[in-house]
Amino acid sequence: MHPDAQKNILGKKWGAVGLVQDHLPNLFAMADIASKQANVVVEEVRGTCPQHITMMAIFGDTASVRAALDSIEAMAK
């Protein structure tokens, strides 16, 4: 994660963390949907090969993370 984002994430207690892995362009759309549908913080988890498959983490309370993941799943169908 970017160092500024990491400070923000580590400075709070979260009820849940959702992880989503996909191709980078898809993650941009998923992050947009998740952040608009629920009160969550979405951050990219940096890996070794961001050109192909990468991951994002969705932080929030349990209900908000579930709502964000549900909206991503609905978009993917």
Tens digit of each residue's pLDDT (9 = 90 or more) over 9-25: 888 899 999 999 988 88
Q: Is the pLDDT of residue 50 over 60?
A: no
Cα-Cα-Cα-Cα dihedral sign, residues 50, 53, 54, 56: positive
| CA distance linking residue 59 with residue 32, whole number of Å | 14
Tell me the pTM: 0.86
Domains and CATH numbers, the chain: 3-76 (3.30.70.1710)
Count H helices, E strands: the chain?
A: 3, 3
